[in-house]
Chain A
Amino acid sequence: MGESLVQVRNLGIGFTSQAGATLPILQNIELAIGEGETIGLVGESGCGKSTLALAMMGYLKSGLQVLKGGSLFRGVNVFDMNERALEDIRGGNLALIPQNAGQSLTPTSRIGRQIGESVKLHTMLAKDQRRERVIELLSHVRLPQPEDMLERYPHELSGGQQQRVAIAMALAGEPEVLLLDEPTTGLDVTTQAHILELLRELAAETGTAMIYVSHDLGAIARVSDRIVVMYAGELVLEGPARRVLKQPVHPYARGLLLSIPRLKESVVPTSMPGRPPSPGRAGQGCGFADRCPMAVQRCHDEKPLLEPTASRELVRCHFHERVELLSPAEPPRRPNRANVDELDSILRLDDVAISYDKPGIVDQILGRQPNVTPTVDKIDLTVRRGETVGVVGESGSGKSTILRAIAGLLPPRSGTITYEEDESLNTSVDKRAKDLLRRVQLIFQNPDASLNPRHTVAQILAQPLRLYFGLGNDQLRERSVALLERVRLGADYLERLPSQLSGGEKQRIAVARAFAAEPDLVLCDEVTSALDVSVQAAVLDLLTQLQADRGTTYIFVSHDLAVVRAIADRVAVLYQGRLCEIGPSENVYRFPSQPYTEVLLGAVLEPDPDTRPALVAEDVADLFPPDKGCPFQRRCPRRIGDICDNETPPWQPTELGHAIRCHIPLAELHRRQEQSANTAAEKLEVST
């Protein structure tokens, strides 16, 4: 191991609160990064990982200060450097690839100019050479038509393209270390996979060291040589990637990995109780002691130090040898369902098309619909009572739109939505009977926005109770407390305001609110997407529990395929507002048949060093659906010709309620998939 490029020594960073106390955000950080290494820095929100990454560049957000120690770059403490020296190394030796590239690129400056700025600052190239270099960089990150790209403005590019530009800009200074702060958050699954592959290749080609900060263990697993796990501002585990992922020796890391849903199993992952401490609250002992399954008194009194283990790891736990012996908690089994066909249908969508475009004045006068391609089209779906149907797709797939139509917020342009065989849900909310409204409830993605910030929890829960059951004040309190209990919150929550609750708690209140109506059908719109991984597991657990108790039907929309796998009986795959495949999750996930499903599932990143994504489609975003034919026509790797452009692919049913939409006959499709799998396996053999 040569000299470390970056060495963090006993770093402590904190801020002074309004009351005058100094609260730490980071404590006792020890980290060394050598040349060409990729370190994955993982932790949940609030653990301080972004602060750490920025601190390595000598940058602190306003209000923060260094309390102890420092971060060395090639032996010199960055916090001792003057402004000039920092300007030199930032971009030139240590380069940042930011989280939200769209917001990190100057809106009034052309792409070529911004990247050129970096080249000018950190290399010795002359003006004409600089232009060449920028073009070179842009093609290096696989952006099409680099000469054109030079003249564009950031807002003209898609999210994936912006991220690539950010990468090119970071590479412009020819840095030795790349700092990546959640670079793929917010990108589509397929785009994300492509960007990660690009990063791996670049790292291998240029020998640049990378520090990859993320909460997404799947991404971390793909790129890292070593993984560092952070909790409550401290390092708790560091070691070779494979070791950390397969056999974590810290109870938090273990709990974290257990709480991530996996593609291959249909179980709700185990959640960790409690929540991370706020900065400065951690007391004398181990920060994880309150939530640790093997905590004893010593853990609460004495802070553990980082100790090396035999397998070249560093771990902060008194009893790390015992972690391996912890038996995995029993995950809640999902109830065995009777044969799907025997359940009666609770909801049916027949050839539903939905459009956001409203008719203009002329059309309104003539009483006709605008002749625009609908956002969502040709949806046929039957939902059985008591089951969970997952709806997956990337951005633009129309999954939320369908939920809104069912809820009555957006009437369908054509087709019918039938509830329980006889009631029509084609009407909008104002025209529906109250009882019908009661039986169909909606839970939203963002807990910050779905609760009225000026209402207390009691008021929030009271609203559906009053609206649907006409309860008076005395009964309200009783019922509300019962509801809170069902979502595992105490009665003391009644008087709290949303701003005093954590994300997970807010989402539980949202669930309680939905269940206050005693609904038959609950529509979940990305309800776990805004939550931390460990909290996500708890909410999923809650939902399945409620379903087991009450026989509620769920339609669960998410872009996270693993989450849907954990909770759904059947899954429907959407692309650009059209159905591609639908069937029991077991079948769809294990044997994806439709080309888009293949691509989608292939791109998912799992926190497992042995899996790798299969990138089969071009990384080009489709902004809107085509007028006719198969929605996937522009990107499909198995496209057979004009028929894909012109004709709607027919439904091809398979065994057990599984159906796909494709022009290629099923048998042929399977054969070709086998072929690709074989070719891929051969390639792998050749390369190793």
Chain B
Amino acid sequence: MVRLIARRLVLGVITIMLVSGVIFAGLELLPGDACTAYLGQAAQGKRLDNCRQDFGLKRPPMTRYVEWIGGAVRGDFGISPKGKKPVSETVSNRFRNTIILGATASLLGIPLAILLGIIAALWRDRAPDLWVSATAIFAMTIPEFVTATVLILIFSVWLGWLPGIVVTQPDAPLLEFLSDIILPIIALALIMTAHILRMVRTSVIDVMASDYVQMAQLKGVPYWQRVFRHVLPNALLPTINLVALMIAWLLSGTVVIEVVFNYPGLGRLMIQAIFFRDLVTVQAIALILAALYIGLNLFADLLTFVANPRLRTMRSRQP
């Protein structure tokens, strides 16, 4: 089994390399470069040339790529043409903020989703399920920004309980944030919960109809013992993978949420960077997000390995 884990890790690293290549190549292939993008209208003649010189854009792509990757591994993403500050500075506390948002939402959302999903499945088609499923479907299908806006409408505008927009500075200490981030966390958690809940529900319903659960019933195993010993372990197994993928999806969702609530995180930074055509920052954030995503996928795979007895006991063909 150690070999399998090692293999997955290597695969993960290779994927990150591949993705970094794609990001870099993608930006290279698009018409223009960091300088033309940033300078916009003024991108011509001497100014363009100087800009390119400053940022070493005249060197061959491979060299730039290697340098970029080398720097990235050390945490140095280069200098942003906007404000001439090192990218890593701007990125680091935004990164912290996004992680806080994502982590809290996950810690809240996932256990809740699993619980609600199980309840919805066990009381299938009856009152608890109808309420839970309807709300989940609603939250799932409607775009995040709509859900977030609706939440602002309800809790901030009509009820006035919570602030709708974050006004604290990005580098402020944690405590100042607290009241501000409640609504964004709820919004994010709600959407995550909705997705995971539905998957859990389907999984539990499927497993409850399986032959082995029927067999347990015919063995005389009482209902709750069946649920905990035979249904849940098998139902939750496939959801582990999905949960981790959900967290990965979260990354995209945070961008929208951050914009809606004006939250100073990585997502909002990215939007701003794109707006200002700061390709260096954009590249950096893209890489970070991609690496996070791949890392989470890897984590999901490994978790599944550990949990699934079938994979744990894979043996090679021995005569």
Q: Interface residues, chain A, CB within 8 Å of chain B? A: 54, 57, 59, 83, 86-92, 95-96, 98, 100, 103-109, 117-118, 121-122, 152-153, 155-156, 169, 173, 623-624, 626-627
Contact = CB atoms under 8 A, between A and B. Distances in A.
A109 B230 contact: yes
Interface stretch (B6-14, B23-31, B255-263, B309-317): B309-317
Contact of A90 (B218, B223, B313): B218
A121 B230 contact: no
A96 B210 CA distance: 16
Q: Sort A-B residue pairs by CB-CB distance and give the 7 closest, nearest first.
A: A91-B220, A90-B220, A104-B215, A103-B211, A91-B219, A108-B233, A87-B220
Contacts of A122: 220
Contacts of A108: 233-234, 237, 308-309
A173 B309 contact: no
Contact of A100 (B211, B219, B319): B211
B219 A118 contact: yes
B229 interface: yes
Contacts, number: 84
Contacts of A107: 212, 234, 309-310
Interface of B: 210-223, 229-230, 233-234, 237, 308-310, 313, 317, 319
A121 B234 contact: no
Contacts of B212: 103-107
A90 B215 CA distance: 10
Contacts of B309: 107-108, 153, 155
Contact of B215 (A96, A173, A623, A626): A96
17 contacts: A54-B218, A57-B218, A83-B222, A87-B221, A88-B220, A91-B218, A91-B219, A92-B220, A106-B230, A106-B233, A108-B237, A108-B309, A118-B219, A155-B310, A169-B219, A623-B317, A624-B317
A121 B220 CA distance: 8
Contacts of B223: 83
Given A117-B229, A153-B310, A106 B216 contact: yes
A103 B210 contact: yes
Most A Cβ at <10 Å: residue of B210, B216, B319: B216
Most A Cβ at <10 Å: residue of B210, B218, B219, B309: B219
Contacts of A153: 309-310, 313
Contacts of A627: 319
Contacts of B234: 106-108
Given A54-B218, A89-B220, A121-B221, 7 more contacts: A83-B222, A90-B218, A106-B212, A106-B233, A107-B212, A109-B233, A155-B313
A100 B212 CA distance: 10
A59 B222 contact: no
Interface of B is mostly: helix
A400 B309 CA distance: 32
Nearest to A84: B222
Contacts of B233: 106, 108-109
Most B Cβ at <10 Å: residue of A89, A152, A153, A173: A153
B221 A117 contact: yes
A440 B3 CA distance: 47
A331 B308 CA distance: 56
B189 to A, nearest CB: 29
Nearest to B219: A91
A83 B225 CA distance: 14
A529 B124 CA distance: 39
A106 B227 CA distance: 12
Contacts of A156: 313
Most B Cβ at <10 Å: residue of A57, A107, A169, A624: A107
A95 B220 CA distance: 9
Nearest to A89: B220
Contacts of B313: 152-153, 155-156
B197 to A, nearest CB: 22
B319 to A, nearest CB: 8
A627 B313 CA distance: 26
A109 B219 contact: no
A98 B219 CA distance: 11
Given A155-B310, A156-B313, A105 B219 contact: no
Contacts of A92: 220
B209 to A, nearest CB: 8
B211 to A, nearest CB: 4
A74 to B, nearest CB: 16
A409 B309 CA distance: 36
A88 B220 CA distance: 6
Nearest to A58: B218
Nearest to A623: B317
A103 B210 CA distance: 8
A83 B319 CA distance: 49
A117 B217 CA distance: 12
Contacts of B317: 623-624
Contacts of B310: 107, 153, 155
A356 B109 CA distance: 48
Contacts of A105: 212, 215
B210 to A, nearest CB: 7
A59 B220 contact: no
A98 B211 contact: yes
B222 A87 contact: yes
A173 B216 CA distance: 13
A623 B318 CA distance: 10
Nearest to B309: A153
Contacts of B319: 624, 626-627
Contacts of A88: 220
A95 B216 CA distance: 11
Contacts of B219: 90-91, 95-96, 117-118, 121, 169, 173
B123 to A, nearest CB: 16
Nearest to A101: B215
A54 B214 CA distance: 11
B180 to A, nearest CB: 43
Nearest to B211: A103
A608 B122 CA distance: 49
A624 B317 CA distance: 10
A105 B237 CA distance: 16
A109 B229 contact: yes
Contacts of A109: 229-230, 233
A104 B233 CA distance: 15
B96 to A, nearest CB: 38
A526 B215 CA distance: 31
Nearest to A152: B313
Contacts of A83: 222-223
